[in-house]
Amino acid sequence: MVSVFSLLLINRIYFWISGEKLIAEAGIVIFGFIAFSFLFFFRVVIKKTYQVMNRKEQRQTAYILGIEREDIAMAEGIISENASNYKVIGFICNDAKSHQTRIFNLPIYNTQQLQKSSTIGDAVIVSDSRLQYLREHRPQLLSKLLDLQLKIYKLPNLEDWEGQNSAANLQAIKIEDLLQRSPIQLDRNKLHDRYHNKTILVTGAAGSIGSEIVRQLIPFTPKSILLLDQAETPLHELVVELDKEHPQLRYEKIICNVRSKKRLRQVFNHFQPQVVFHGAAYKHVPMMESNPLEALSVNFQGTRNVADLALEFSIERFVFVSTDKAVNPTNIMGASKRSAELYIQSLVHSKQHQTSFITTRFGNVLGSNGSVIPHFKKQIAQGGPLTVTHPEITRYFMTIDEACQLVLEAGAMGNGGEIYVFDMGSPIKIIDLAKHMIRLSGLVPNKDIAIEFSGLRPGEKLYEELLADKESTLPTHHEKIMIAQATHNFNTTQIVLLSNLLKSVKTYEAKDAVLSLKKLVPEFQPADLATQLANSNTPSDKKTKRVS
């Protein structure tokens, strides 16, 4: 266009000077039209050639799950995007009431038709809202699609898009997407009042739970977050992440072992925290069965150290992260956490203070360090087999973000002394979890990847509980958080037992510590107490003092 106007201008100037034109103006216009047409055609050919070359191997044939208005709009968007790596070949709908047979001249299938088909597409695309509905009401449909070895991609809600078009925002679903429940509604105003402009200490800050608590505290603009952990490398990785993602955040990185009360006192004295989230703990059941004294020294003595200092420095709120394994424990890890719960309750019952002590108790967290998900992923990458301890073993699961949101909510609502129990939904069979993960990898359980049973490990339960037998629950304003009303009466005998347990731990009297724990937590029923004592491999004859 510029060249045409330039030629017309030159032609006109030459006419003014010489009285004649270089070329007829009609010819210039025709030349411009022809040149523009060829240039446009050349660019279209180049673009189409590039798209075809780049999607020869990448383009996948995909179905759209659902035939509602939202699903059709999603399909229209993907079809209209010429650069998409997905070719929509049909819709999937198992609704027998639907009489439609085609949309956009594409067929509508049900899962039975797909099973009988000789050729099946590569993937299924589902909206985030429909995926949430299927998780809660029709999980069997997702299992059928995975059985057909179809990859499932979800399209997040529009507000969660990372720019670009809809196809670029498609995400492969993970095991968390299949198990996660409906989003949690938080009382953000109340949380803001509790945590805004406060100095908050998070112990175990480098762990999966601790680090997520830190991330979820950031939107409430605390004055400073104290990141306390004994693990140097994970703490460094968290610091690198915070510097990159939240450069405005004020924080302190603190290497400290919760077993050292002297070091903890230095931290409290120097930084003067107002709120404490205590998540530092040893949590691997088989490992702690072989090292009971270490479990008690961190989970009981460490918690006691932090709780005592919370009293000494008049901390506003102390939130203890416990576990469902503390209910009727059959292993040292669970019993050590229960003993820590009892000590915190004893503080509430026996002393006048300003600190609100709150305990939160929940089950397994998907994807956390040492959980079954990373273990299964590693086994799948190695070609199997996947090892499950027992065909009937079940566990409660929730995602990391869900668990930490509830910890923050419970920490804000507590008045002191409560043990908050989270709604974990229905327990999940570990074997079903293993099968789902194999299917998500595009493989067939017990065909491409074998599943083997290794037998229950020492101290492991078939089923886990969230409430002790003599406890009842009370509702709160949040539908997913309940209060466990413990029936324990804290008397002089129990105080003495707590003191005896601490003394045995400090003096490395492992056998005495396990026996004191059994008296303190009478519901502690190890599979074989003699074995527990034999596993107390720390030399009990050496009465080496630990620095407190």
CA distance 499 to 495: 6
Amino acid at 162: E
Using DSSP's 3-state secondary structure scheme, residue 202 falls into strand
3-class SS at 361? strand
Low-confidence ranges of the chain (pLDDT < 50): 56, 487, 530, 534, 538-548
**Helix axis angle, 303-312 to 332-350, nearest 10°:** 20
CA 343 distance to own-chain centroid:
29
| 3-state SS assignment for residue 314 | coil
- How many CB atoms sit inside 10 A of residue 144's CB? 18
Query: What are the DSSP E strand ranges found in 27-130?
Result: 60-65, 86-92, 102-103, 106-109, 123-127
C-alpha 426: how far from chain center: 18
Annotated catalytic residues are 325
Sequence-ordered list of residues with C-beta below 8 angstroms from that of 254, at least 6 positions apart, any chain:
226, 227, 228, 229, 267
Distance (Å, whole) CA 222 – CA 200: 7
Name which of 210, 344, 361, 193 is nearest 274 in CA terms: 193
Distance CA 402, CA 537 (A): 38
Q: Please, are residues 263 and 218 in contact by the beta-carbon 8 Å criterion?
A: no
State residue 51's pLDDT score: 59
Is 171 strand, coil or helix?
strand
CB-based contact 183:256 (threshold 8 Å)? no
β-pair type (224-229, 199-203): parallel
Q: Are strands 60-65 and 123-127 parallel, antiparallel or unpaired?
A: parallel
- Looking at residue 541, its pLDDT comes to 41
Cβ atoms within 10 Å of 461's Cβ, excluding its own: 20
